[in-house]
Amino acid sequence: MTLLLNGFELAGQCRASLAEKIKTLPRAPKLAVVLVGSDPASAVYVKNKEKAAGEVGIESAVYRFETITQTELLSLIARLNADNEIDGILVQLPLPDGINEKEILQAIDPAKDVDGFHPLNLGKLMIGEPAPIACTPKGCLKLIHQAKQDLSGLNAVVIGRSVIVGKPMAQLLLKENCTVTMAHSKTQNLPELCRSADILVAAVGKPKTVKADWIKKGAIVIDVGINRLENGKLCGDVDFENCFDKCSAITPVPRGVGPMTIAMLLENTAEAFCRHTGIDF
């Protein structure tokens, strides 16, 4: 029988337990969210994050700008870094053309980096030191652990090598003692490679890329992709209907990885609060 990895339910549990812990704190953790430009999807993401934060007792301050210069944005980040009342900082991506995204992300105090995108934190992940971990891969790992606790010695294939999903995902699986292969747009014989995977993570951004005959029987399959079809429906990078029976566990889209990403952002904010205040919970 295939286990449906319900990220919506698991995220709900993570948020409920976080809310209980936050109630015991002397003050609410505070997250600064910076939104630049007029991308409607980014505006929706920020609204959802703000709402989710409020529901667990995290205060958020949203800084919205239609336009802003690189210098102005850098000076806002410097102010937020120095602000003792701010525990975590998130800059909603993508930033509009004309803004140097890398420079902005590097300007965030690594201790307040709730997205885990700062090079120092990515480097710490690589050398196995504790650091804020990117929300999506962190959520994926929690989903994988719903299916299996000990991942040691398993073959994992991660399709996609982005800095926000694929690369940190591969590092996390390596830390779990998996044998990890990273695949990408130039990989040859992708179906064959996938057939060796006990754990398959798809972060491609192309609908139904992973077909049923790419799946090893009993594999755990995590679908990170969010693709909007012409009929308006959302679909993942995995051909869910046809792959389902071959997997031991699989995430749906929607209600799989997406809700976990937000739950992990809230966890990362609470962890940033602990680092900042020295209060542990």
Q: How many helices (H) and strands (E) does the chain have?
A: 10, 11
From candidates 29, 110, 132, 160, binder to ligand NAD by CB under 6 A = 160
Beta-bridge partner residues of 3: 249
Q: Choose one: 125-133, 142-150, 168-176, 255-263; the region binding ligand NAD (CB under 6 A).
A: 255-263
Q: Which one of residues 29, 88, 132, 166 is an interface residue with ligand NAD (CB under 6 A)? A: 166
Tell me, by CB under 6 A, how many residues bind ligand NAD.
25
Please enumerate in sequence order all residues whose Cβ is within 8 A of that of 202, keeping only pairs 6 or more positions apart, or say none: 159, 160, 209, 210, 221, 222, 223, 224, 225, 236, 237, 238
DSSP state of 94: S
Residue 203 interacting with ligand NAD (CB under 6 A): yes
Residue whose Cβ sits closest to ligand NAD: 162
What does the per-residue mask of binding to ligand NAD show for 105-134, with x meaning CB under 6 A?
------------------------------
Under rule CB under 6 A, residue 196 binds ligand NAD = no
**Among positions 18, 183, 220, 247, the unique one binding ligand NAD when judged by CB under 6 A:** 183
Give the 3-state secondary structure percentages of the chain, helix then strand then coil, rounded to 5.
45, 20, 40
| Cβ closest to ligand NAD, residue 37 vs residue 225 | 225
Tokens of 15: 């948020």
Residue 261 contacts ligand NAD per CB under 6 A: yes
Name the residue among 81, 127, 85, 84 with its Cα closest to residue 104.
Answer: 81
Which of 91/111 has CB closer to ligand NAD? 91
Q: How far is CA 39 from the centre of its chain?
A: 20
How is residue 99 annotated by DSSP? Answer: S
Q: Does 190 bind ligand NAD (CB under 6 A)?
A: yes
Q: Which residues bind ligand NAD (CB under 6 A)?
A: 136, 159-162, 164-166, 183-185, 187, 190, 203-206, 209, 224-227, 257-258, 261
